[in-house]
Amino acid sequence: MNYLIGDLQGCCDALERLLQKIDFSPSRDRLYLLGDLVNRGPASLATLRRLQGLGDAATCLLGNHDLHLLAAAQGVRKPHRKDTLYEILDAPDREALLAWLRQQRMAVLAHGWLMVHAGVVPQWDAAQTLALAGEVETLLRGPELPGFLQQMYGNEPDQWDEGLTDIPRLRFVVNVLTRLRFCTAAGRMDFEAKDGADSAPAGYLPWFEVPGRRTAGQAVAFGHWSTLGLMQRHDLLALDTGCVWGGALTAARLNADGSMPEIIQVACDQAQAPGG
């Protein structure tokens, strides 16, 4: 069976309970984790080790918190006081874990679903999303990563242009795939609003509600948006249900016949204050 799983953020105990609940077998089943594997939860190190140990049975996307870990490891960003990354940064297997993290994906198309951590701007179709994600993946795995991480942060450019090149292009792609919630019909992104779908700034919509978006005919699964909560449509799955904030960890079991995925959840006992 194939399962999509929402944001873990270092909640390894919840992951173990979820795997037990679905009777997970690495020889039979395949997991697709939708990003934010680490941070803010109590066991980021154990989570990375567990996922690394699953080998080909787990495909992991990178979210904003995972890129934050890579930036912290390079000394580009200092961990926030609420971060739970020091145990990874101080671990004896730190370099092996970071090398594994750099091999993970920014977007995946499998079993009929386009999977991203945050969203897709309306100007991109699935093929372009995967191609642009591939550009970032190549950079993550290569020698130019430290230099890029120093320039990765920032909100500009905030709108897609086919003419974008170099750092502005890569920064935009990263922001779409790991930070997007609201945008305009022209694809201009907002990075301030973080509440539910009804909190869109004037002139903005949740990215998946933009009329005429080019992924409208493509089933899309994403995480990142804990205040949105579980959303399930025939062509849309939002699976960040705020495990690290005291909510639930959510998986969706994909059915071979294309019918509505089955939702499986386990409670999480964390009590952090909500965050991005």
What is the CATH classification number for the domain harbouring 14?
3.60.21.10
Could you tell me the residue range of the domain that residue 39 belongs to?
2-180+214-267
Q: What mean pLDDT is reported for the chain?
A: 95
Q: Has residue 166 been placed in a domain?
A: yes
Confidence of residue 215 (pLDDT cuts 50, 70, 90): very high
Q: Has residue 244 been placed in a domain?
A: yes
Q: Has residue 250 been placed in a domain?
A: yes
Q: What is the pLDDT of residues 150-181, one digit of tens each?
A: 999 999 999 999 999 999 999 999 999 999 99
- State the total domains in the chain: 1
Q: Has residue 147 been placed in a domain?
A: yes
**CA 37 to CA 7: how far, in whole Å?**
6
Q: Has residue 186 been placed in a domain?
A: no
Q: Has residue 201 been placed in a domain?
A: no
- pLDDT above 70 for 272: no
